[in-house]
């Protein structure tokens, strides 16, 4: 991984180091192309790294990620930059010059293991790996399988006097708080834009009371609550007091298929909630799970996944669009309307999980030259274009479909490399 400013040349630049970007980079390079891969965070892996298990096989994400990290380690044709952001794209299809900045990690490449020392770090910030459920030390290791396997200092800490004083006690002198950003350029023929998705902001859903009670969480937060490397060590607990919830409600289409929020269906939220219902029952066999849905959408092979859970007595499926969630003393009152009969149902729960949808990162930030549809997804063109979306930039997808799309992106890069 380069540490000095460079002028690079590679037929393919991939922006975004989630499962889509990594796969596109690896496959294009294994087919013969030099590739530069940029990731904004301190580690590759994207949002898959934050899942507990992934359907349909319910294996931990480390399986798929480790395979990709090994392929990258063994591959001299992919140059990876983490903490990297594109500044400028100039030129045209077949001949781009892209300028990007790599932020400092503030930890030297040969630094030691700070597991014990970092526990004493006095400065903490909201932990975005755990979707804000807990705080993280300003000196941290992103997660146990992180790639590259390196510590990092949160950039906000570099100007914090308390942190700076503490950092002077670094046991091996491995911190470098004076490190500066570096600017690099890469000349490339095509650009695969794989910046992924973000959870729809549940704070926009006034009637679902997110933010008004800590036991109302989102589906991405629930992945972290169930994960052994998450804030509760994998025990399903109420964030408010750490007690075990006896009755949990999953609210489907929280903001999805709604003209005021996300007008589209993300396609994976129903399967994600059914998966999370299994997390609950594995952790708390006595608990009850209630899922409120408009209609259950589990396309393709996920239909089997749905069928299996329909037979589980403790998973209760209710046809009902949730109209309101209200804190009600110690519990949370959920009101839903049956979408066929119009009848209202009301019940009390210990915890509520909002199944929010996947919003494309391109709806917030996209390069010039990448055509977007009305929801901010990248439009796929018939002809290979110079800049093209990959994975969940194109539509909401599960991992298996994301991998297929990434393989397609690698093929587009090969075509562009040959044409120009």
Ligand X SMILES: Cc1cc2nc3c(=O)[nH]c(=O)nc-3n(C[C@H](O)[C@H](O)[C@H](O)COP(=O)(O)OP(=O)(O)OC[C@H]3O[C@@H](n4cnc5c(N)ncnc54)[C@H](O)[C@@H]3O)c2cc1C
> Minimum Å distance from CB 343 to ligand X?
29
Residue 136's CB: how many other CB atoms inside 10 A? 18
Check binding of 361 to ligand X (CB under 6 A).
yes
385 secondary structure, DSSP code? P
The stretch near ligand X (CB under 6 A) out of 102-110, 299-307, 313-321, 389-397 is 389-397
Q: What share of the chain is helix, strand, coil (3-state, %, to 5)?
A: 25, 30, 45
15 binds ligand X (CB under 6 A): yes
Smallest distance from ligand X to CB 194, Å: 6
Q: Does 395 bind ligand X (CB under 6 A)?
A: no
Selected from 47, 184, 213, 224, the binder of ligand X by CB under 6 A is 47
C-alpha span between 40 and 407 (Å, rounded): 22
| Total Cβ atoms within 10 A of residue 365 | 11
Task: Quote the longest CA-to-CA distance of the chain.
Answer: 68
Q: Which pair of structure tokens corresponds to residue 344? A: 């209202």
State the Cα torsion 47-22-367-50 to the nearest 10°: 10
172 to 108, 140, 293: CA distances (angstroms): 10, 16, 55
216 binds ligand X (CB under 6 A): no
Shortest CB 51 distance to ligand X, Å: 5
Contact between 410 and ligand X by CB under 6 A: the answer reads no
Q: Tell me: does residue 40 bind ligand X (CB under 6 A).
A: yes
For ligand X (CB under 6 A), the number of binding residues is 38
Instruction: Report, in Å, the least distance between residue 198 CB and ligand X.
Output: 7
Among 11, 12, 13, 18, binds ligand X (CB under 6 A): 18
Structure-block tokens of residue 77: 């044709």
Question: Of residues 157-196, which lie at the interface with ligand X (CB under 6 A)?
Answer: 194-196
Closer residue to ligand X, CB minimum distance, 137 or 395: 395
Distances in whole angstroms, Cα of residue 101 to Cα of each of 14, 119, 379:
15, 30, 27
What are 21's two structure tokens?
């970007």
* Cβ at position 229, least distance to ligand X in Å: 16
If the CB atoms of residues 231 and 391 are measured against ligand X, the closer one turns out to be: 391
C-alpha span between 255 and 232 (Å, rounded): 27
Query: Is residue 70 reached through a cis peptide bond, with omega within 30 degrees of 0 on the bond before it?
Result: no
The answer to whether 399 contacts ligand X (rule: CB under 6 A) is: yes
Residues 20 and 406 sit within 8 Å (Cβ to Cβ): yes
Contact with ligand X (CB under 6 A) among 10, 12, 13, 19: 19
Site string for ligand X, 310-349 (x = CB under 6 A): ----------------------------------------
Tell me how crowded residue 283 is: count the other CB atoms within 10 A of its CB: 17
Nearer to ligand X, 87 or 172 (CB): 87
- Paired tokens of 206: 């006034």
Closer residue to ligand X in complex, CB, 400/411: 400
Among 13, 28, 33, 38, binds ligand X (CB under 6 A): 38
The residues with which 197 forms a beta bridge, in sequence order, are 360
Residue of 225, 71, 39, 235 lying closest to 142 (CA atoms): 39
Out of 20, 192, 366, 414, point to the residue binding ligand X (CB under 6 A). Answer: 20
102 scored as a contact of ligand X (CB under 6 A):
no
Q: Which one, 33 or 399, has the nearer CB to ligand X? A: 399
Q: Which is nearer to ligand X, 41 or 182 (CB)?
A: 41
User: 3-class DSSP state for residue 87?
Assistant: strand
Binding site for ligand X (CB under 6 A): 15-21, 38-41, 46-48, 51, 54-55, 85, 194-197, 219-220, 223, 268, 272, 275, 358, 361, 365, 391-392, 397-400, 402
């Amino acid at each position: 991984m380069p540490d000095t400013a460079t002028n690079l040349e590679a037929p393919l630049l991939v922006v975004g180091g989630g499962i889509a970007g990594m796969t596109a980079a690896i496959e294009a390079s294994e087919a013969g192309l030099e590739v530069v891969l940029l990731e904004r965070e301190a580690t590759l892996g994207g949002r898959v790294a934050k899942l507990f298990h992934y359907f349909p096989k319910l294996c931990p994400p480390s399986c798929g990620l480790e395979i990709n990290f090994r392929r990258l380690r063994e591959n001299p044709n992919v140059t990876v930059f983490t903490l990297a952001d594109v500044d400028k794209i100039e030129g045209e299809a077949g001949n781009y010059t892209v300028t990007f900045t790599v932020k400092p990690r503030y930890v030297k490449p040969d630094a030691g293991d700070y597991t014990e020392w970092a526990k004493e770090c006095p400065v903490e910030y909201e932990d975005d790996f755990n979707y804000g459920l807990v705080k993280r030390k300003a000196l941290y290791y992103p997660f146990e399988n992180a790639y590259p396997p390196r510590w990092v200092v949160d950039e906000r800490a570099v100007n914090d006097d308390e942190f700076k004083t503490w950092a002077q006690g670094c046991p091996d002198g491995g911190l470098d708080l004076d490190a500066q950003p570096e600017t690099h350029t890469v000349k490339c023929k095509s650009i695969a834009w794989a910046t992924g998705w973000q959870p729809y902001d549940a704070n926009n859903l006034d009637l679902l009371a997110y933010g008004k009670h800590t036991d109302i969480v989102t589906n991405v937060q629930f992945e972290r609550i169930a994960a052994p490397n998450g804030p509760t060590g994998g025990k399903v607990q109420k964030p408010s007091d750490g007690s075990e919830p006896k009755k949990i409600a999953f609210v489907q289409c929280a903001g999805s298929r709604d003209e005021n929020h996300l007008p589209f269906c993300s396609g994976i939220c129903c399967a994600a909630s059914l998966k999370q219902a299994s997390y609950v029952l594995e952790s708390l066999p006595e608990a009850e799970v209630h899922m409120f849905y408009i209609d259950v959408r589990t396309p393709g092979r996920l239909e089997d996944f749905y069928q299996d859970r329909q037979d589980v007595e403790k998973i209760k499926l209710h046809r009902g669009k949730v109209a309101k969630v209200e804190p009600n003393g110690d519990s949370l009152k959920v009101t839903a309307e049956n979408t066929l009969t119009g009848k209202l149902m009301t019940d009390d729960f210990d915890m509520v999980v909002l199944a929010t949808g996947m919003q494309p990162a391109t709806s917030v930030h996209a390069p010039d030259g990448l055509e977007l549809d009305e929801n901010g997804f990248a439009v796929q063109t018939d002809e290979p274009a110079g800049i093209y979306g990959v994975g969940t930039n194109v539509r909401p997808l599960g991992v298996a479909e994301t991998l297929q799309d990434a393989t397609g992106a690698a093929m587009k890069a090969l075509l562009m490399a040959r044409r120009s």
